[in-house]
Each structure stands twice: as C-alpha cells, then as structure tokens.
Structure 1
Amino acid sequence: MTTEILHTDLTTTWVGIASLIIFVVGYYFIAAEDKYLINKAKPALFAGTMIFMLIGVYYAINGLDGAHLHHEIELLIYEIAGIFFFLYVAMTYIEAMIDRNVFSALRYNLVSKGYSYKKLFWITGLLAFFISPVADNLTTALILSTVLITIDKTNKAFIVPSAINIVVAANAGGAWSPFGDITTLMVWVDGKGAFVDFLYLFPASILGWFVTAFLLSRFVPNGTPPFAADEKKVYISAGGKVIMGLFALTIASAVLSHQVLHLPAMWGMMFGLAVLKLYIYRMSREVRYDSDGIVCPPVNVFSFIAKIENDTLLFFFGILAAVGGLHFLGFLEYFTALYSQFGATTVNIGVGFLSAIVDNVPVMSAVLKSSPDMGASAHAQWMLVTLTAGVGGSLISFGSAAGVGVMGKLHGIYTFGAHLKLAWTVLVGYIVSVSVWYVQFLILGIGA
C-alpha cells in the first residue's frame, strides 16, 4: 500500500541532505565561475535537475505515490515557463535592435558630442535607470557597459565608477517595473502586486540611485575621452525604429494580457514575437540597398534568436528549479520562521544584504515559495522585499545578473575587488531607498 507525503519535512532524510549539498556546491561554482572558467548555467542546471531526480528516486525506493510530486513539478514548470518565455521574447527584440544599429547609433551620438567624463557618467547612469524598466537590468547593463568600453577602454578611473553606476542604476530602475528585473517579474507573475503598484517604488529607487551616483561621481576624472573626428556616423538601419515601436507594443500587450485578459504576461510577449516575425517577413521580401548601393542581405528573425544569451535563460531555469526542490523538501519552512521571529520589515531589509551574497533571483524565489506571513501591511512589505532584493543585489558585484554581466563584459577592469572598494556608496544609497520606502508606505501610507 502506497502512502502520500504532503507537506512533510524531508530535510533530515538522505535526499534532503544530499539535495542541500548539491545546491551549496552548485552555487559555489556559480559564484566562482571566473575562477573555474565554467559558465554559471552549467552548475545551476545540474543542481536544479539533479535535486528533483533524487526526489524521484526517493519516492520510487519508498513506494510512495508520485502524484503529489508530479503535480508540484507541473506547477514549477508553469512558473518557470512564464519567466523563460517572457525573457526569450525580450532578448529577441533587443538582438533585433542591436542588429538594426539602434544602440550603436546611441553610442556614436554620446561620444561624438564631446561630452566630459563626468557628463558621460551621468548620462549612462540615467539611461540605465530609465531603460532597464523596459529592457530589463541585465540587457541594459550589458549594452551600456559596451558603450563604456568603446568610449575609453584604457581609463579605469572612469570605467570602474561608471560601471558601478550602471549596475546600481539598472537594478534600481528595474525595481519599480515588473519587466525591469527577474525578481520584480517573479513578484508580478505571482500576483503579489498589480502593474501600477510597482510604480510607487519609483521615489525610493531613484533617490537611492541618485545618492550613490553623486558619491561615485566624485571619483570620476575630469577631461573628455578621445574621439576620432573622421569616425563614420552611425545611423539606425531600415526597420529599426519600427521594431522599437513593436517592442513598446509588445510590452503593452503583456501588461494587457496579465491585468485585463487574465492571461499570463508571457502570452502577450509571444503575441509580440509573432508580430515581429510577420514584420521581419515583410522586410525580407523587399530589396534594400546600403549607403554604398550594395544589396543588403535579407533579414531573418531566427538570426536574432540565435544570438540570445541562452546560458542566461538556462541559468534561471536551473536556479528556479533548485529553489523549487528545496521548497518541496521543506527547507524554506525555516525561512518562513524568520518572519515570525524578527518581523517582516527586519527580514525584508535583510533580504537585500542576502541578495548581494547569494544573488537576488534564488533569494526572491525562496521568499515567494515560502510565502511568509507579512503581517497587517502585507502589500507594503511585498513592495519592500521587491525593492531590497533588486537594489541590494548591487552591494556586491556578483549579487545581481546585471553585475555578473558587466563583470564579463569588462573582464579584468570591473572586478569584485574594484567594486568592493566603492561598495560603501551603494550601501548609503540602499539605506536611503529603504528610508524613503518607510516614510512613503508606512508613515504617509502612499502606495500601501
């Protein structure tokens, strides 16, 4: 006769202990990917899939009914798929805009105007803050760090504080939009807040970033970067502006799907991908010529898809699966107990510091999976943990996807040590963000 394990603590069984070891070892290799030259997707995917393989073995050995396990896996797949396909479409659009020279034209316009280092520092920071709510913090940070390295790749005194500024701005900008960070997307998809609820985090996000940027700007050198007067001007290629408009339409359809039509947000994104494919098909049927009169090759949407950072998508799949496995085994019940013992505000502020060490994606996944009792001000507390998980990831260079991406793009320049020397500026901004949230939500009651 088979029995069912429902909400049973499996943390002290061999499968619980083995799964925890796999998670810790896997996360060590994720954090030390530069040391071992192993992409973070590999250990994440292995840990996430292996944990559930072991759980399946445990059920089979003990003759347990696997219906509950199968049901939990289906729910987890649904959760991951929503995030996976959302990012899949967003990345496709970004690659399409890169192909159409949208961002190359931006870089040229910035460099050719003769702006000083300090002005470029503020411009790239502002762009990161306002682009990340739409394009996501990882993509924004990668694009603008590329701009940095093309401005002056030899001037570390400019690049390092500017890189930190971009990471902080991208994470802060992503905190007040459901699309800006994987953590805010997770909170939104989970139904912890409506689309407009995240907009109330704008004051805390921008003031926290501004304070950090002001402190960092003191370390930016004076002068202007070198620029070749004969450098050829870059224009947005044919279809680029239309694709930008289609991307805005796609984001709008995702919001409409989630808020009005009761469909997953990723459904609206996939609709946007279908529209993009139809437009690219129309473009490919037209004969186009470049500035030298040479026939341009036909545009193929699959060439955009081929350039997507699939390792990033697989990393998120693996890490979310791993946290889901720990939740199934009962480990997240310990996390829930912290809220009862120390209170929601204290723990949610601490989540920001934990995000810097562990990475904000698994931390937010753990919070959502454990679904703790946030108390009477539950909505305000969910907004707080959204803010702290996003902004707190900037405290250490590898605490967020944006930071990891910039470390890879500016390899040997923007490093863990270089970030740590100026991390105190990020901490001051973090304190400001939390203080603004406290006054706005708990004292004034705005957005609560």
Structure 2
Amino acid sequence: MFKVIITLLLGTLSLFASSASNVEIPNLTMTWVGFATIIIFVIGYYFVAAEEKYAIDKAKPALFIGTFMFILVAIYYVLNGLNMELVHIEANHLILEIAGIFFFLFVAMTYIESLLHMGVFDRLKYNLISKGYTYRKLFWLTGFLAFFISPVADNLTTALILSTVLITIEKTRKDFLVPGAINIVVAANAGGAWSPFGDITTLMAWTAGKGHFTDFLFLFPSAFVGFLVTSFLLSRFVPNIVPDFDATKEEKPKMHEGAKVVMFLGILTIACAVLSHQILNLPAMWGMMFGLALLKVYSYSLSKKYGKDHFNIFESMAKIENNTLMFFFGILAAVGVLYFVGWLGLAAIVYQPDVLGPTWANIGVGFLSAIVDNVPVMSAILKANPEMAVDQWMLVTMTAGVGGSLISFGSAAGVGVMGKMHGIYTFSSHMKYAWTILIGYFVSIAIWYVQYQMLGIGH
C-alpha cells in the first residue's frame, strides 16, 4: 500500500508543484483558524515536553495535533470557499516529505534491532567493562564511541545503547553516571551534526537539498572540538578509580552466526543511501530500502541454514520504536500546518540583515532547540526557507543539533537517556553541568567562524 502511495505521489508531484507556483497561498495568521493552530501547537507541545509528568507517550499529542490542525485548516477552506486544490497540494507535499524521513528511520532502526538480536552490542558492552579501566577512562571511551557511532547509527540509538553500557558498569554512583550520561548525549548530538544521517535534523537538511553529502563533513572540526572541550570539563568531576567488576565470573557473550555479515550489510546500506541520493538523484530512503531488501534476503538464507528462530527480520521490525516514528510524523505535519497558515513566514523575518541576520539568528536557533526540541525547530526553518548560503545552512544544522544538548529534553538523545536512566539523569542533574555544554557550544561556533568566514573552508 505504501509503495502505491509513494509511486502516485512521485508521479504527480511535478504537476502539483507547477500549479501551486501560479497560485498565491492566502495568509491565515490573523483568522480564527490561524490563532487556533498556534494555540493547539503550543498546548500539544507542552504535553510532548511533559511526557514524564503525565506518563503520556510523546507520540500521542504530536500525532493528534499534526492531524487535527490540518483538518481544521481544511474545514476553514471549505467554509470560506477557498481553493481546496491548495490543501490537496500541501497535504501531498507533506506526505512525500515525511515518507522520506519515515522510511529512512524505519530501515535504520531495523538494522539496529537486528544487530542487538545478533549479540553485537552485548559483546561491545562486555569488552568495555572487562578491561579494568577506571571510571574516567570509561567516561572517555563511551564518549568517543558515541561521537563516532552516531554519524552512522543516529544519535538516539547510539545514546540508548551507550547509556545501557553505563548502567551495566555502575548502578549507583551518580558522580560517574550523570557526567557520563551528559557526555554521551553531547557526543551523540555532536557526532550526528557532521553526518547527513547522524541526526534527524541533518537528515532533514540533507534531504531538503541544503547541502551535498560532503558539505556536512566540513562540520567535523566544529563538532569534534566543541565535544572535546565539554568532555574535558566534565571529566574533572568523574572519579579516577576502577569499578568493581570480576571478569572471571562473567560469561563472555558470543555473537550469533552471521552477525559480521549483518554489520557489513548495515555499512553497505548507508553507502547505498548516500550514492542513490548524490549520484542517482533518488531520495536517500530509496538506498535504505534497497539495503533492507538485502537484509531480508540474507535473513532468509540464515533461516534455511540455522532454522527460522536464528534470525527473523520481522521480529526486529516488530521491536523498532514505532512511537518515535509516529512522533516525527505528527510533529512534522504540525510544523507543515504552521507553514501553510503563514506563521513561519513571520518567523523568517529574524533572518533579514536589518533584524538579526543569518549568523545571529542561527546561533539563537541552538538555544531555541534546547527548549523546544531540535526536530520541530529545524522543520520550521526549512519550511520558512530563508535565503542563506551553504555556510549558514551548515551553521544552523550544527547549532540545532549541538544546541539540543543544552537542556536534557532538548534532543531525542537526551529524552532517550532520561528514560533509560530514570531518577539518575534528570533535568536538575543535567543543569548542574549545563555550563560545560554552553562553553563547548560557543567553541563550536568559534571554530565554524574561523573555518568558514575567515579561512573560507567549506564553501
């Protein structure tokens, strides 16, 4: 069914786009539906941010506001005799935009669950905690792993896996767990900032055509140095003693047969996504879906050789976080409505040179993404589409990603770790060390300024 929908949308998108370009979309900001949409968005997002307080999954309010807001706008168009073709075109644009991100994440999550099933991360966990390293060395190791895994695996998955490693090492010492958790969140977000698929925000910017694959790689110095500065400051608070662990009493976990091939297929899938987008001009999710097809074929051969219980890819699919996918659908749809109504056009004013200008506006985006979450912020900027050169699009990609670390619930990685380390990594424990993240944030911006504005590297 999804295949049919995507095929139809791809076939008709150019026709819709050409007709939409000749028709002006009415500004509804000062109408009852304009005020209704902004109020519903604010209320809905409050419940998204307060999911722990009300024990409600963030996907529920996000999905509700995303669908309900668009229905309200459609009702307004009907009641006032406006051009319903505009609603139809905008809905189709939204579906196509969301589908690209939805299927990309779907495949990435399936691979991660497959690697978990094959015992890859259990082995990683054991290898880390059985070496006799001190807390401080483990702090650095998990941080570096988070920084270099997140560009491939995505920041949320990386943060969840490595926060599990922290809990395995130590369950009570907050002087290790809290700085360690913050370090993982910062590293995962910084690592995701210099990869087109390391974070949902960079994925959105990449698929929107705001930069080529190689353009994002130029953000590595800014992201890495900023992460190093924050990690160095945090490491001063981590005890330099060896945790209690007897490797002789723990059985070394074994990876299942075929695990290394699944790892290779995961890397190949990422390569397919890059090549299909950069060379063949196909959506990145097309290469990801091809990689999923390869994994399905390999799972079939494994089931024939070792039995159907050895590796069932549909079990991996069943374990992916569907609530995360639904959250992204809802929040991207809601931001799409705010754009369609006209609110984001007003927000784009701050990018004008006589107001803030792109540099200061993009720096401010980092602080906004810490409060609101970087996904809707980045979606809003892409919808508003201010005129910026590649260097400024790279800046906002970095600030939206790295800035999400400033507050514990400012990024998907932070929210995930809060859930994994409930009662240990909290808003208040995070804010105790937030100054270290702020320093790293400004260092990242300084590196960007020297690299792009003074040396002209990355243009």
Q: 2:115 aligns with which of 52, 76, 97?
A: 97
Given that residues 398 and 416 in structure 1 are in contact (C-alpha distance below 8 angstroms), is that contact kept between their aligned partners in structure 2? yes
Aligned length: 435
Q: Could you tell which deviates more after superposition, 168-177 or 279-288?
A: 279-288
Q: Deviation string for 1:85-144 (max 9, x for gaps)?
A: 000000000000000010000000001111100000000000000000000000000000
Tell me, in whole angstroms, the C-alpha distance in 1 between the residues paired with 2:306 and 2:189.
41
Partner residue, 1:292 = none
Q: Within 5 A, what are the aligned runs for 1:30-429?
A: 30-228=48-246, 229-287=248-306, 297-340=309-352, 341-374=355-388, 378-429=389-440
Q: Indicate the SS of the match to 1:222.
A: coil
TM-score (norm. length: structure 1): 0.96
Tell me, in whole angstroms, the C-alpha distance in 1 between the residues paired with 2:234 and 2:428.
16
Q: Which amino acid aligns with 1:306?
A: A
Tell me, in whole angstroms, the C-alpha distance in 1 between the residues paired with 2:23 and 2:69.
17
Tell me, in whole angstroms, the C-alpha distance in 2 between the residues paired with 1:401 and 1:123.
22
Q: Deviation string for 1:388-438 (max 9, x for gaps)?
A: 000000000000000000000001100000000000000000000000000
Tell me, in whole angstroms, the C-alpha distance in 1 between the residues paired with 2:384 and 2:238.
43
**Which aligned segments of 4 or more residues in structure 1 are displaced greater than 4 angstroms?**
none
Tell me, in whole angstroms, the C-alpha distance in 2 between the residues paired with 1:225 and 1:330.
56
Q: Indicate the SS of the match to 2:267.
A: helix
Q: Indicate the SS of the match to 2:168.
A: helix
> What displacement does 1:153 show?
0.9
Tell me, in whole angstroms, the C-alpha distance in 1 between the residues paired with 2:309 and 2:102.
31
Tell me, in whole angstroms, the C-alpha distance in 2 between the residues paired with 1:5 and 1:255.
35
Paired-residue identity, %: 67
Q: Deviation string for 1:314-356 (max 9, x for gaps)?
A: 0000000000000000000111111111110000000000000
Q: Which amino acid aligns with 2:194?
A: W
TM-score (norm. length: structure 2): 0.94
Tell me, in whole angstroms, the C-alpha distance in 2 between the residues paired with 1:197 and 1:297.
43
> What displacement does 1:226 show?
1.7
Q: Indicate the SS of the match to 2:375.
A: helix
Q: Deviation string for 1:14-61 (max 9, x for gaps)?
A: 111111111000000011010000010000000100100101111111
Tell me, in whole angstroms, the C-alpha distance in 1 between the residues paired with 2:431 and 2:310.
47
> What displacement does 1:5 show?
7.5
* Aligned residues: CA RMSD: 1.1
Given that residues 6 and 68 in structure 1 are in contact (C-alpha distance below 8 angstroms), is that contact kept between their aligned partners in structure 2? no
Q: Which amino acid aligns with 1:401?
A: A
Tell me, in whole angstroms, the C-alpha distance in 1 between the residues paired with 2:51 and 2:286.
34
Q: Indicate the SS of the match to 1:285.
A: helix
Q: Indicate the SS of the match to 1:299.
A: coil
Tell me, in whole angstroms, the C-alpha distance in 2 between the residues paired with 1:297 and 1:328.
49
Given that residues 113 and 316 in structure 2 are in contact (C-alpha distance below 8 angstroms), is that contact kept between their aligned partners in structure 1? yes
Q: Unpaired segments of 5 or more residues in structure 2?
A: 1-21
Given that residues 5 and 64 in structure 1 are in contact (C-alpha distance below 8 angstroms), is that contact kept between their aligned partners in structure 2? no
Q: Which amino acid aligns with 2:251?
A: K
> What displacement does 1:303 show?
0.1
Q: Unpaired segments of 5 or more residues in structure 1?
A: 289-295
Q: Indicate the SS of the match to 2:305.
A: coil
Q: Indicate the SS of the match to 2:249.
A: coil
